[in-house]
Amino acid sequence: MNRPIRSVFHVFHVFVSVSLMMSPLLATGNARALDYDRILWTTEWNHDGSRFAVGGVNTLWVFDSNTLERKSLLPKTPGVQEGDINIPYVAVTSVSWHPSGILLAVSSQGRDVNGVYDIVSGDRTPLKVDQGRGVSWSPDGARVALSSSGNGHLGIWKSDGTLLHNISRYEKAKGLTGVSWRPSGDRIVTIGGQITLHDAQGKPIRQMTHRPETEERLCLLLCVEWHPSGEFFAVGDYGNEVDDPVIQFWSADGELLKSVTIQGGAEIRNISWNHDGSLLASASEKLRIWTKDGRLKHESESPDLLWGVSWHPKGDKILTSSIEGRVTLWSPTAKVIKEIIVPAR
């Protein structure tokens, strides 16, 4: 994928991340031709692999892994059909499963559907966020963190919706595009224009510029995930019209360990570690599988740009979601096993 195409997706990302206003593009009805109404931003298996969630434009599904039966959790809104762009617009941008496998935390932009969902009853506990972009449970499931791409705040709640901490935008952080809780529970990392380490109450500890040489040409970070060991974390960025995207590995104390440039690649939308931390999957114009020290092991082209990616807890398959509404199962060597949802043409 060339850089001009990537810049088109950047325009859309800014649109959904910054403003609640409907763009002239949507008002003219031309958005459908660009497939913006099909984007599936995120996907994630629950902790035992019995279910997986898929979120996107006016979409929040939970699938039974065996039967592939699906249930929509989005509140019904008159005049809005599932998967369609309409007023009020909503994009489910990130999901995170509670250790119980019954509660699903959700971040969203546009119409506010941020919250904790009980997938059995369908009840939602609202979490008030200005343009939610990332969500992550604490390892013990007692707290949930949401990041805002609107005002740049980091919020931490109890699972019952009680707000514990509301951390204002820190220094150069600007909008926050992702959040990840360390497996030991003592630290949180947020991303956006910068990487910020926080303690378990959200207090900032340290902030890092991930690509100082591009600071005047913002390379927005899109994804972050701690390694299962908690010793380090990985991030992926957008690149820009000049600079190719990168995947980076950072120590728990905020020291850069390794940076890998994806030459000619599209933005790194999401990343996911397998259960033992030996492999990292990244979602872009290709599904790429990396070793934990940053060596590319496998890669396969996708028919369209991948936005969501998640390893099965057993490590024997990978789930992806895409910009055209495709949901696909892959092998650990990046070979297609099955297309669960194929976009209509």
* Averaged pLDDT score across all residues of the chain: 87
Confidence grade of residue 34 (pLDDT, cut at 50, 70, 90): very low
Positive or negative, the CA dihedral 242, 249, 310, 148 is negative
Q: What is the pLDDT of residue 30?
A: 33
Mean pLDDT, residues 47-71 taken together:
96
pLDDT tens digits along 101-140? 999 999 999 888 999 999 999 999 999 998 999 999 999 9
State what percent of residues in the chain have pLDDT above 70. 85
| Alpha-carbon gap, residue 91 to 337, rounded angstroms | 28
State what percent of residues in the chain have pLDDT above 90. 74
Assign residue 258 a region: left if phi > 0, alpha if psi is -120 to 50, beta otherwise? beta
Reported pTM: 0.88
Q: In what order do the strands lie in the sheet with 221-226?
A: 221-226, 232-237, 246-251, 256-261
Q: Using only C-alpha atoms, what is the Rg of the chain?
A: 18
The strand pairing partners of 319, in sequence order, are: 310, 329
| Alpha-carbon gap, residue 208 to 339, rounded angstroms | 39
How far are the Cα atoms of 18, 156, 183, 207, 232 from residue 201, in angstroms, in the given order?
26, 8, 15, 16, 20
User: Range of 187's domain?
Assistant: 3-341
Length of the chain: 345
Both tokens assigned to 173? 């952080």
Both tokens assigned to 342? 């194929």
The strand pairing partners of 57, in sequence order, are: 91
The CATH number of whichever domain residue 241 belongs to comes to 2.130.10.10
Structural domains in the chain (count): 1
